[in-house]
């Protein structure tokens, strides 16, 4: 195969609909917009308009807020860690960090750090170095003979 022979699969691309190009094209004259009315004209934005009735987004009260300083952790379950150890993607003898998890393909991106959750069983003796962990996850890790270090500076981690 050569670079000049590469092409998309059959049906992967569609040609753009050329509207207003004569009656014979099937979408000429009105360009697929129908006849008359507000929607046939340009510069129309009716999203959320309910025919003069008070729209639902104005009828319902505002609720809550979004904390823009909240940390977004990547969550990893103990079962997922055990599966990675069983598949020999993670080395149980080395310290398991966020970077090690990413290289092993256990997580896709680190975000604000990795937080370990207690779903699943852990048999391997792991040494973890993560941004946070749930209480039950810490108990399970220590019960399996491993240890966990919650990194400093990771607020809201526990």
For the chain, give the percent of residues with pLDDT over 70. 96
Q: Is 129 left (phi over 0), alpha (psi -120 to 50) or beta?
A: beta
Instruction: Count how many residues are written for the chain.
Output: 158
Rounded to an integer, what distance in angstroms lies between the CA atom of residue 102 and that of residue 104? 5
**Contact assessment for residue 78 and residue 121, using Cβ atoms and an 8 Å cutoff:** yes
For residue 121, is pLDDT > 60?
Answer: yes
pLDDT score recorded for residue 152: 76
Rounded to an integer, what distance in angstroms lies between the CA atom of residue 67 and that of residue 29? 51
pLDDT score recorded for residue 158: 52
Neighbours of 144 (CB within 10 A): 15
Rounded to an integer, what distance in angstroms lies between the CA atom of residue 24 and that of residue 27? 8
Tell me the pLDDT tens digit for each residue of 12-71. 999 999 999 999 999 999 999 999 999 999 998 899 999 999 999 999 999 999 999 999
- Is pTM, for the whole model, over 0.75? no
For the chain, give the percent of residues with pLDDT over 90. 91
Residue 153 pLDDT level (bands cut at 50, 70, 90): low
């Amino acid at each position: 195969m050569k670079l000049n022979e590469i092409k998309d699969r059959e049906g992967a691309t569609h040609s753009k609909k050329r509207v207003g190009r004569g009656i014979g094209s099937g979408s000429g004259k009105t360009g697929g917009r129908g006849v008359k009315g507000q929607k046939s004209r340009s510069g129309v934005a009716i999203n959320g308009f309910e025919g003069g009735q008070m729209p639902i987004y104005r009828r319902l009260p505002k609720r809550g807020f979004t904390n823009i300083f909240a940390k977004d952790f990547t969550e990893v379950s103990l079962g997922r860690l055990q599966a990675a150890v069983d598949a020999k993607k993670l080395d149980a003898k080395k310290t398991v960090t966020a970077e090690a998890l990413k290289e092993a393909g256990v997580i896709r991106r680190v975000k604000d750090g990795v937080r370990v959750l207690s779903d699943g069983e852990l048999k391997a003796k792991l040494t973890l170095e993560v941004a946070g962990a749930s209480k039950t996850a810490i108990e399970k890790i220590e019960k399996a003979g491993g240890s966990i270090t919650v990194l400093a500076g990771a607020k809201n981690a526990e």
